[in-house]
Amino acid sequence: MSRVLKSGGRIFIYTRLRSQNARNIWGRHFPLFLEKENRLHELHEIKEMLKLIPLMVVESVKRFRYWRNSTLSRLVNQARNSHYSTFSLYRRDEFEAALQAFCDNIIDNFSSSEKVGWFDENILLVVRKT
């Protein structure tokens, strides 16, 4: 990063934190989703990694939280089509069992499989080269 940016240049990192992932529909209701997804970090970890890069400073951090709603059938379609790359980390038989458990979890936890709602969260870090 530091080598390709001019002084004053910025990099924008838009991602999800592990804790944010744990609160979304997949982290809360899709078995093994959190265990499979090991590529996310917490904010303090990202900041520590960035401190190791010469001349780079975190200029700002903005958290986003927005309401989502969907149907169970659309969520199943998203999972089957690897809407998140995390789904590709499952073995086929493991995925099918988790998907069935996910469907059961949604039916058990929402009043209607046609009205499934949750908050998604992301974070944006603006990193500047000094």
Contact predicate 20/126, CB 8 Å: no
Query: Which class for 58: exposed (0-12), middle (13-18), buried (19 or more C-beta within 10 A)?
Result: middle
For residues 72 and 113, is the Cβ–Cβ distance under 8 A? Answer: yes
Among 3-7, 35-39, 55-59, 126-130, where is mean pLDDT lowest?
A: 3-7
11-42 tens-digit pLDDT: 999 999 999 999 999 999 999 999 999 999 99
Matching residue, tokens 């959190």: 34
pLDDT range class, residue 109, cuts 50, 70, 90: very high
The gap between the terminal CA atoms of the chain, to the nearest Å, is 12
Q: What is the pLDDT of residue 50?
A: 96
CB-based contacts of 12: which residues, under 8 Å, 6+ apart? 124, 125, 126, 127
Mean model confidence pLDDT for the chain: 97
Quote the CA–CA distance of 31 and 75 in Å, as a whole number: 14
pLDDT band at 4 (very low <50, low <70, confident <90, very high): confident
Phi then psi for residue 118, to 5 deg, are -165, 170
pLDDT grade for 3, boundaries at 50, 70 and 90: confident
pTM here is 0.90
Per-residue pLDDT averaged across 96-112, rounded?
Answer: 99
